[in-house]
Structure 1
Amino acid sequence: MKPLYSASSLLFLLSVLVFSSCVDEVNSSYTYHTMMPIYLEMSDVRARIITTEPAQPLDNPGKIYIYEDYLFINEPTKGIHILNNENPAKPINLSFIPIAGNVDMAVNGRILYADNYVDLLAFDLSNINDIKLVKRVEDVFTHMYTHATGEIITFRDTVITTENPTWGFEDGGGWLMNSSMSFSSNYSAAAQSYGTGGSMARFTLANLHLYAVDESTMRIFDVENPSDPTFLKPIDLGWGIETIFPFEDKLFIGSNVGMHIYDASTPSSPTRMAVYEHVQACDPVVVNSDYAFVTLRNGTSCWNGANQLQVIDIKDLYQPKLKKSYPMLNPHGLGLAGDFLYITEGNHGLKSFNVSDVMNIDQNQLEFLTSEKSVDLIPGPKSLIVIGPDGVCQFDYSNPAKLKKLSCIQVKNPVKFY
């Protein structure tokens, strides 16, 4: 019996099948971004001489802080820009302090405090043109910091840094670790020679003490002698800590699951009064004598979060209660000036409200500036200072219902944020 197919026929069929399968094959290629770790020894970091450098353009501003007529703008992990802001319509870029690993800052009596990876530095600002490092407090910070521009993991003697911590597909299918950090203090603290920062605070000053929080711990420094900060002790707060805001002799600490209230009437040893819990979300907070205003937002580091403004009754500090919540788009930082609340809505813009009637805040929106992408702000004595991905802008807010733009400092390389 003859075979159905000859050897040559089978070979021909096989070649056709192979060729056909090659023609139908779909080729895909993917590009991945990953972090390249850089290891630094703190002994090498400490050996560097820090001297004031000429003014530099803003590349990626992280935090804003005002003291007297000066505006300080942090360049995450790189240092601090100093500007003369006597005239908010024409701020003058004066100089730059290069501080590796810098994330936070605060000013007390002409002394600037800034973190340098695991160390706290104190700079004398008496001569703004010749700023001097006057003290280094070693090995007081051990935390992980994540920002759109890079990540820092600190240990006692070694620091691991990375740039552009993005994993995923080049076409945008990936995800970005991004957690904004900034500083805050009640503006009334200016009477104590303290500066003022934004709402997403990690450092704050109150009652001759500096309080610094990381993801799980509050560290306390005695700064009665501003040029000689002394580390006192750490206080465990639990995981997920994000912000700190002082009001009178209380500390309001925001976490991604709630708000902690601490009594700091004994400044060197604050004690916990209460914890108000909410859904998991990024959480900055500002307060007045009766209410705490908390913005919650979802985002890459705030899983399962809501986009809300929550008003919390704090008349009884031991039993804070939710008064009312209002839907928001994607709120980041916020600032309170009397009865007027300003909220940065990320890529969506900047909002302002009259909050004298906390039960009807949504009916008392004053403005929604959709063109002003914003992350955080400071209601300062001369202007409302707003920071966003495109730069730092200042507004005349003497008429709270109608903000008037005074100036903008553009950044060289805007960073996408969430």
Structure 2
Amino acid sequence: MNPMRRSVFGWPVWRLPIVILLVTTCSNPQEPLYNYRVQVPVYLNVSAVREITVGPQAPRKLSAAGKIYVYGDYLLINEPQKGVHIIDNRQPKMPRMLNFIAIPGNIDMAVNSHMLYADSYVDLLVFDISDPANVTLSKRLEDVFPHLYVYGDSSKIMTYKDSLVTSTTPPRPLGGWMVNDAFSSGVTLSPGGSYGQGGSMARFTLLGGHLYAVDQQSLRLFNVQDPDDPHFVQDIALGWGIETIFPFENKLFIGSTTGMHIYDASNPAAPEPMSVYSHFTACDPVVVNENHAFVTLRSGNFCQQGVDLLEVIDISDPYSPKLLKSYGMQNPHGLGLSENYLYVCEGKFGLKSYSIADVMNVDKRQMQHLRTIDAFDVIPGPKSLIVTGEKGISQYDYSRPNRLQLLSQISVKD
């Protein structure tokens, strides 16, 4: 797949301003007014960012729910651009805030043994969380995410702040151009149990003693065999529109706006391409089991095409993936697999659960539809089904997959 050009009228395409329509009002029938939120670019000096204090602070209320991650008895919740909440989740009915790790510019995270890896704009920070109530910064790897630099200037980075705008001109969606998704999560499973577990929309993941991080066009690879001392290995070009990464066995499944890449990671330090499955241009998280990949394609936002689908792909031959069947959905986001059960987040339309024992009749085997929640990503965890959305984090008892029972909620403060 050929990468697209990297700039449009001087703007890096992965950091174009995002426009979100909020509400439309009319001052008179001839001249409607549009109220919408624009993410205005803000330029920061890298040296100033690195002087900001990072590390644990007193627990505080959740102001936005980003990535979610399960590690042992603890639930980690990213607050986009600000840091990570650590929650004692030994009793999912009564989750308890332990502390907050301040990390400016943080979006992604993964846990290897007792070490938390988290991005801080262009840097990778490593925290020792062996005692989650007493977190310490162990290491900072500088300049490992250079795609955030402004026009290649390593002294400045570009981020965004929200601004409300009223105009007679309606906002225009910007196709497939995206910034980091505030509702994305990582999946990292290990037979040895040393990794954590996340959701379906990862940009960070762990496999075979290596950390993999994707940006919009590349895969960045780190050796973390010594969890305390990670180091950068290489950057692999993938083409434009990369969104998610999902590990399974010795393979990496990488979702993009135009398809799914499969890489052989039998040699974790040098993954090799196996195949690319192409689809409509749309947002594309993916989860897999031994023989099938389940992909959701979503319209709206910045995903261009008007398709809302769940696709089932035969990956029994990873060199030749084949579409088996597509199912119409309402507005699918993240998804999660647990044995023969699939959970699909439908955004403002709620959460759906399906039996996938017969992948050719998934639509006839819907078990439940929770319509009262907004759902963006889901983790079938060891103790509960964890669902994240704009309003916060909900946990469900899913021991009976056809009858989910609410255990607790962590709400986003008003």
Band the TM-score falls in, shorter-chain normalisation: 0.7 to 0.9
Residues 349 and 33 of structure 1: CA distance in aligned 2, closer, same or farther (over 3 Å): closer
Deviation at 1:372, TM superposition (A): 1.6
Q: Which residue of 2 aligns with 1:183?
A: 185
Name the stretch that deviates more: 194-203 or 154-163.
154-163
Correspondence 1:77 to 2:81 = yes
Deviation at 1:38, TM superposition (A): 2.8
The aligned amino acid for 1:139 is D
Deviation at 1:36, TM superposition (A): 4.3
Q: Which residue of 2 aligns with 1:56?
A: 60
| Higher relative helix content | 1
Asked if 1 retains the 8 angstrom alpha-carbon contact of 2:368 and 2:402, the reply is yes
What is the rounded CA distance, in whole Å, between the counterparts of 1:369 and 1:29 in structure 2? Answer: 35
Q: Which residue of 1 aligns with 2:18?
A: none
Count of residues in Structure 1 that have an aligned counterpart in Structure 2 = 383
* Secondary structure at the counterpart of residue 143 of structure 1: helix
Residues 227 and 154 of structure 1: CA distance in aligned 2, closer, same or farther (over 3 Å): farther
Q: Which residue of 1 aligns with 2:241?
A: 240
What is the rounded CA distance, in whole Å, between the counterparts of 2:171 and 2:43 in structure 1? Answer: 29
The aligned amino acid for 1:276 is Y
What is the rounded CA distance, in whole Å, between the counterparts of 1:251 and 1:327 in structure 2? Answer: 26
What is the rounded CA distance, in whole Å, between the counterparts of 1:34 and 1:92 in structure 2? Answer: 35
Residues 27 and 182 of structure 1: CA distance in aligned 2, closer, same or farther (over 3 Å): closer
Correspondence 1:156 to 2:154 = yes
| Higher relative strand content | 2
Deviation at 1:46, TM superposition (A): 1.6
- TM-score normalised over the length of structure 2: 0.87
- TM-score normalised over the length of structure 1: 0.86
The aligned amino acid for 1:182 is S
* Secondary structure at the counterpart of residue 311 of structure 1: strand
Of residues 34, 45, 50, the one that matches 1:46 is 50
Alpha-carbon deviations, 1:299-329, whole Å to 9, x = none? Answer: 2210014100000000111000000010000
Asked if 2 retains the 8 angstrom alpha-carbon contact of 1:117 and 1:154, the reply is no
Question: Structure 2: which 5+ runs fail to align?
Answer: 1-29
Q: Which residue of 2 aligns with 1:300?
A: 301
The aligned amino acid for 1:98 is A
- C-alpha RMSD of matched pairs (Å): 2.5
Alignment of 1:315-354 (within 5 A): 315-354=316-355
Alignment of 1:120-135 (within 5 A): 120-135=124-139
Asked if 1 retains the 8 angstrom alpha-carbon contact of 2:184 and 2:200, the reply is yes
Q: Which residue of 1 aligns with 2:94?
A: 90
Name the stretch that deviates more: 272-281 or 51-60.
51-60
Q: Which stretches of structure 1, 4 residues or longer, exceed 3 Å deviation after superposition? A: 26-37, 152-155, 165-181
Q: Which residue of 1 aligns with 2:107?
A: 103
Residues 264 and 31 of structure 1: CA distance in aligned 2, closer, same or farther (over 3 Å): closer
Alpha-carbon deviations, 1:354-394, whole Å to 9, x = none? Answer: 00100000000000111121000100000000001111000
Asked if 1 retains the 8 angstrom alpha-carbon contact of 2:31 and 2:168, the reply is no
Question: Structure 1: which 5+ runs fail to align?
Answer: 1-25, 146-151, 414-418
Alpha-carbon deviations, 1:220-245, whole Å to 9, x = none? Answer: 00000001111000000000000000
Deviation at 1:181, TM superposition (A): 4.9
* Secondary structure at the counterpart of residue 182 of structure 1: coil
Alpha-carbon deviations, 1:99-127, whole Å to 9, x = none? Answer: 11000000000100000000000000122
Q: Which residue of 1 aligns with 2:27?
A: none
Residues 406 and 245 of structure 1: CA distance in aligned 2, closer, same or farther (over 3 Å): same
What is the rounded CA distance, in whole Å, between the counterparts of 2:337 and 2:197 in structure 1? Answer: 13
The aligned amino acid for 1:158 is K
What is the rounded CA distance, in whole Å, between the counterparts of 2:378 and 2:51 in structure 1? Answer: 35
Name the stretch that deviates more: 333-342 or 296-305.
296-305
* Secondary structure at the counterpart of residue 88 of structure 1: coil
Deviation at 1:31, TM superposition (A): 6.7
Percent identical residues? 52
Deviation at 1:182, TM superposition (A): 2.3
* Secondary structure at the counterpart of residue 192 of structure 2: helix
Alpha-carbon deviations, 1:312-359, whole Å to 9, x = none? Answer: 000111000000010000000000000000000000010000001000
What is the rounded CA distance, in whole Å, between the counterparts of 1:200 and 1:137 in structure 2? Answer: 24
Structure with the greater alpha carbon radius of gyration: 1
What is the rounded CA distance, in whole Å, between the counterparts of 1:191 and 1:243 in structure 2? Answer: 24
Alpha-carbon deviations, 1:73-93, whole Å to 9, x = none? Answer: 000001111100000000001
Asked if 1 retains the 8 angstrom alpha-carbon contact of 2:173 and 2:302, the reply is no
* Secondary structure at the counterpart of residue 330 of structure 2: coil
Q: Which residue of 2 aligns with 1:289?
A: 290
Deviation at 1:180, TM superposition (A): 4.2
What is the rounded CA distance, in whole Å, between the counterparts of 1:102 and 1:153 in structure 2? Answer: 21
Alignment of 1:164-243 (within 5 A): 164=162, 169=167, 179-187=181-189, 189=190, 191-243=192-244
* Secondary structure at the counterpart of residue 66 of structure 2: coil
